[in-house]
Structure 1
Amino acid sequence: MASKFELFKDKKGEFRWRLVASNGQTIADSGEGYTTHANAINGIESVKKNAPVAAIVDLSQT
């Protein structure tokens, strides 16, 4: 099984997403609730677009 985005509603009725690895572990989540389904989808699309080109900033070497 490949990784997947899961879109769901939380207890407050807001839309959230999480990225689940092939082993079932959550590796990222929306961190915020979205009021509309469309906005949550836009959040997922933003991660898909921006993550491949995001820089790695190593803050452990201070």
Structure 2
Amino acid sequence: MGKFEIKKDKSGQFRFNLKASNGQIILGSEAYTTKAACDNGIASVRKNSQEDARYERNTAKDGSPYFNLKASNGQVIGKSEMYSSTAAMENGIASVKKNAPEAAIEDNS
């Protein structure tokens, strides 16, 4: 089972990563000024992760595919890593859909 890991960055802001059961990061958040806002971000990922239309599929300048998960208001709530292929990116999206709803939360902040 996957998990959300909450941590503080160097500037004291809160961030979370969604990790698959193998420990690989499959989605990373923006910076939040409060832990409550970070918790809300996790709740938003849980809610929006099941809707395929919320995934914005992109290609980086170097040609690497990646995706953003967006909330219903269009705001990005999570970004993926860069992938080696479109198929690998689609597997990453499938992993978020599988892991996000039931992922435990580990607070390391």
Bin of the TM-score, shorter chain as denominator length: 0.7 to 0.9
By relative contact order (CA 8 Å, sep 6+), the higher-ranking structure is 2
Deviation of 1:45 (Å): 0.4
- Say if 1:53 and 1:15 are closer, same or farther in 2 by CA, change over 3 A: same
Identical-residue share of aligned pairs (%): 52
Taking structure 1 as the reference length, the TM-score comes to 0.82
Root mean square deviation of aligned Cα? 1.9
Unaligned runs of at least 5 residues, structure 2:
59-85, 87-109
Amino acid aligned to 1:41 = D
- Say if 1:12 and 1:50 are closer, same or farther in 2 by CA, change over 3 A: same
Aligned residues between the structures: 58
Taking structure 2 as the reference length, the TM-score comes to 0.48
- Higher strand residue share: 2
Large movers: runs of 4+ above 4 Å: 56-60
Instruction: Please say if 1:18 is aligned against 2:17.
Output: yes
